[in-house]
Structure 1
Amino acid sequence: MLLVQFQSPGPIIVEIGPLALRWYGLLIASAVLIGVSLSQYLAKRRGVDPELLADLAIWLVIGAIPCARLYYVLFKWSDYSQRPQDIIAIWQGGIAIHGAIIGGTIAGLIFARLKKVSIWQLSDLVVPSLILGQAIGRWGNFFNSEAFGRPTDLPWKLYIPPANRPLEYINYEYFHPTFLYESLWNIGVFILLLWLFFWGLKHKNSLKVGTLTFVYLIAYSCGRIWIEGLRTDSLMLGFLRVAQLISLAEITFGLIGLAWLYWLKRPLLDVNRAKNIK
Structure 2
Amino acid sequence: MVLAAVPSPVTSVWHLGPLPVRAYALCILAGIAVATLIMERRLRARGVAAGTSLDIAVWAVPFGILGARIYHLISSPQDYFGAGGDPLRALAIWEGGLSIWGGLAGGALGAWIAVRRRGLPLSVAADALAPGLPVGQAIGRLGNWFNNEVYGRLTTVPWGLEVHDMRTGQLLPGLYHPTFAYEALWNLGVALLVWGADHRFAFRRGRAFALAVMGYTAGRVWIETLRIDEATTFFGVRLNVFTAVLVFLGATLYFLTTRPEARQPDRAAAQYGGSAAGDGGGSGG
- Could you tell me how far apart the structure 1 residues matched to 2:86 and 2:108 are? 30
The answer for the alignment partner of 1:8 in structure 2 is 8
The answer for the alignment partner of 1:69 in structure 2 is 69
What secondary structure, in the 3-state scheme, does the structure 2 residue paired with 1:62 have?
A: helix
The answer for the alignment partner of 2:176 in structure 1 is 175
- Could you tell me how far apart the structure 2 residues matched to 1:254 and 1:137 are? 23
The answer for the alignment partner of 2:244 in structure 1 is 247
- Could you tell me how far apart the structure 2 residues matched to 1:119 and 1:78 are? 36
Contact 1:27 1:137 (C-alpha < 8 Å) held by counterparts: yes
Residue identity matched to 1:20? P
The answer for the alignment partner of 1:195 in structure 2 is 196
What secondary structure, in the 3-state scheme, does the structure 2 residue paired with 1:159 have?
A: coil
Residue identity matched to 2:218? C
Contact 1:208 1:261 (C-alpha < 8 Å) held by counterparts: no
Question: Normalising by structure 1, what TM-score?
Answer: 0.86
What secondary structure, in the 3-state scheme, does the structure 2 residue paired with 1:149 have?
A: coil
Residue identity matched to 2:227? R
Distance 1:199 1:50, change over 3 A: farther
The answer for the alignment partner of 2:262 in structure 1 is 268
What secondary structure, in the 3-state scheme, does the structure 2 residue paired with 1:72 have?
A: helix
- Could you tell me how far apart the structure 1 residues matched to 2:29 and 2:58 are? 12
Per-residue CA distance 1:143-178 (angstroms, 9 max, x = gap)? 11100000001111001125689xxxx974210010
Per-residue CA distance 1:242-262 (angstroms, 9 max, x = gap)? 211111112111211122124
Contact 2:123 2:204 (C-alpha < 8 Å) held by counterparts: no
Contact 1:209 1:269 (C-alpha < 8 Å) held by counterparts: no
RMSD: 2.5
- Could you tell me how far apart the structure 2 residues matched to 1:101 and 1:32 are? 13
Q: Paired residue for 2:207, among 208, 211, 227?
A: 211
Distance 1:4 1:187, change over 3 A: farther
Q: Which has the higher contact order (CA 8 A, sep 6+)?
A: 2
- Could you tell me how far apart the structure 2 residues matched to 1:213 and 1:50 are? 21
Distance 1:198 1:11, change over 3 A: farther
Q: Does 1:55 align with 2:58?
A: no
What secondary structure, in the 3-state scheme, does the structure 2 residue paired with 1:15 have?
A: strand
Per-residue CA distance 1:189-233 (angstroms, 9 max, x = gap)? 011122123324xxxxx5333221110111000000000000001
Distance 1:2 1:233, change over 3 A: closer
Distance 1:12 1:207, change over 3 A: closer
Question: Normalising by structure 2, what TM-score?
Answer: 0.84
- Could you tell me how far apart the structure 2 residues matched to 1:157 and 1:118 are? 45
The answer for the alignment partner of 2:277 in structure 1 is none
Point out 4+ residue stretches in structure 1 off by more than 6 angstroms: none
- Could you tell me how far apart the structure 1 residues matched to 2:3 and 2:50 are? 45
Distance 1:248 1:234, change over 3 A: farther
Q: Does 1:223 align with 2:219?
A: yes
Shift in Å at residue 18 of structure 1?
A: 4.0
Per-residue CA distance 1:45-99 (angstroms, 9 max, x = gap)? 1111232111001111111011111111222333212312211111111111111
- Could you tell me how far apart the structure 1 residues matched to 2:232 and 2:264 are? 42
Distance 1:216 1:234, change over 3 A: farther
Q: Paired residue for 2:108, among 100, 105, 110?
A: 105
- Could you tell me how far apart the structure 1 residues matched to 2:264 and 2:239 are? 37
Shift in Å at residue 234 of structure 1?
A: 5.3
Distance 1:173 1:212, change over 3 A: same
Residue identity matched to 2:192? I
Shift in Å at residue 38 of structure 1?
A: 1.5
The answer for the alignment partner of 1:203 in structure 2 is none
Contact 1:11 1:24 (C-alpha < 8 Å) held by counterparts: no
Paired residue total: 265
Mean Cα displacement is larger for which, 2-11 or 191-200?
Answer: 2-11
The answer for the alignment partner of 2:278 in structure 1 is none
The answer for the alignment partner of 2:276 in structure 1 is none
Mean Cα displacement is larger for which, 128-137 or 46-55?
Answer: 46-55
Structure 2 residues without counterparts, runs of 5 or longer: 273-285
The answer for the alignment partner of 1:118 in structure 2 is 121
